Chains A and B, each alone.
Chain A
């Protein structure tokens, strides 16, 4: 698949690059001091935004960089969530160590899907549907798996500490906020590093024209595998976070296709293949949803579904007006970059 609007991976001009960095510093600076400024409700909204920014960034590695459309990323998050949760609940193993266990499993799941698809020439829409199939497979499988309490759901013990236990991820919203903020920043740095590295250029070449990339001597199979595995591994941490933040896991929710869709709406709206796109998309979409919520309350509309209809209409309008996403358009407007990053 080609993304014509992003065909040029030109390096941004010196001034634009500096402005870009300044914007980044301002954004993260504001996010770091946010808990002192905003109320508890907004913190939970920000956690959701950063969670989606993080997962969007992870998904973007596969789709935005390497051009492989995955519609089943809930699988990797779900594996991370369940592995860390079971290890914690059964053996008291801390979630950070649980993440170390979940990471290779998620990467292996990605590798299996990637291997099967890329070896057998499953590409494009077929590949996307294969990823859905594996996520659905996991959903129904976990629904019947007694180790994880099947469809009855897995619950993490909630202990009322007066303090935040960062090692065991037990604590209040502010702690979770900083955890996901740090994760989002690290994911951004990782993606930026990847994009500017040899592997990143290979990915872009594969995304733009796989046959040409192969002709140029790139081992496309291997680099597509790297993309799936890195994306899956990064996504698995989101699952660990999800498990310990929400304290309950149901296969029906964790592996649901709507989880996968949620993860990818942000980067598509924000701008596929860009570094700011997933973050911007998460802010725009979650902000939109919350604004619609408050508007419904303010106007006294108590109609289930009305909010989602408006949300759907907004999605429709954005995708019709800005086919490459908001960030490429916005950054051109602001004179930040050529919009390719």
Chain B
């Protein structure tokens, strides 16, 4: 195969991987701070995807314009979920948290099924078939916008955690729960805020995913698993790791689809996960903790 093909596939893989990375970033932020594994992560993404579909088909609002409003709605959803339902579970054993989030996932999937039915929905933007040509490289416009928006969103998030007082407070909670309590931080509120931020990330990623894939009520579990793979590959709790993991998995899937068969692509992602867990359990950019 000519070099061009590989290059094109690699660029497409990286752009999709950036969106994956943003989705995984949400999971990573939630786990890193609240210490709860969000087993309903993919399902939360599908809520955002349906919001984008409804706004587009009902009001002709472009997903890229609705990115921020939908992320805001998902923030409120995540905040309320943590404050109302998940918070009592933060000190409970993992299997108990797992059951809670699986129950939430079941509810989300089936509410979506009741409202939207089982058929796949898609968004046909005016630029769905546009592409940019740079030399011999052809880049799909939708993927370029999606990947660009993912980078922008991630940069804003990094800035928030690094430079704002609230962001620093959240990091303090993650570093030392007791210490955060001692200095008078309202940990429960910061946890809710973090879950909200995680939900906003996955919501924004979901909106961009509608440019790339169709949405059905049952896509949730697939993306939950994908987010796990990415986050563990990149390093749970490492924000940059989530993006790197996303790009790596995006590339892997793209090349597995090209060189083998598309239906086997997630096998390679899981293969990478197994290798990472065995040889670098903390993930590519994760820090080793006891």
Residues of A within 8 A of B (CB): 1-3, 63, 69, 71, 116-117, 120-122, 124-126, 128-130, 132-134, 136-137, 140-141, 143-144, 151, 257-258, 261, 264-265, 268-269, 272, 303-306, 308-309, 311-313, 315-316, 319-320, 323
Contact = CB atoms under 8 A, between A and B. Distances in A.
Contacts of B98: 69, 71, 128, 268
A63 B99 CA distance: 14
Contacts of B110: 305-306, 308-309, 312
B99 A143 contact: no
A316 B103 contact: yes
7 contacts: A71-B98, A122-B278, A129-B228, A132-B225, A265-B99, A308-B110, A309-B114
Interface of B: 31, 37, 85, 88, 92-96, 98-100, 102-107, 109-114, 118, 217, 221, 225, 228-229, 232, 236, 261, 263-264, 266-267, 270-271, 273-274, 277-279, 281
A315 B112 CA distance: 18
A261 B278 CA distance: 24
A233 to B, nearest CB: 22
Contacts of A136: 225, 266-267, 270
A137 B271 contact: yes
B114 A312 contact: no
Contacts of B92: 323
Contact of A137 (B106, B267, B279, B281): B267
B113 A305 contact: yes
Main secondary structure, interface of B, reads helix
A319 B118 CA distance: 29
Contacts of A124: 94
A130 B278 CA distance: 9
Nearest to A137: B270
Nearest 10 A/B pairs, CB to CB:
A305-B113, A305-B110, A312-B106, A312-B107, A315-B103, A308-B110, A140-B267, A316-B103, A305-B114, A309-B110
Contacts of A316: 85, 100, 103-104, 107
Contacts of A129: 228, 232, 273, 277
B87 to A, nearest CB: 11
B95 A69 contact: yes
B93 A140 contact: no
Given A3-B93, A319-B103, A303 B114 contact: yes
A117 B279 CA distance: 10
A144 B261 contact: yes
B281 A1 contact: no
Given A63-B95, A120-B278, A125 B107 contact: no
Given A308-B109, A316-B107, A323 B94 contact: no
Contacts of B217: 305
Contacts of B106: 308-309, 311-312, 315
Nearest to B268: A140
Main secondary structure, interface of A, reads helix
A156 B20 CA distance: 40
A323 B277 CA distance: 30
B104 A312 contact: yes
Contact of B228 (A117, A132, A319): A132
Contacts of A305: 109-114, 217
A268 B96 contact: yes
B113 A304 contact: yes
B277 A315 contact: no
Contacts of A122: 277-278, 281
A259 B264 CA distance: 20
Contacts of B273: 129-130, 133
A137 B274 contact: yes
Contact of B281 (A71, A120, A128): A120
A315 B274 contact: no
Contacts of A257: 221, 225
A121 B266 contact: no
Contacts of B102: 261, 265, 315
A257 B102 CA distance: 11
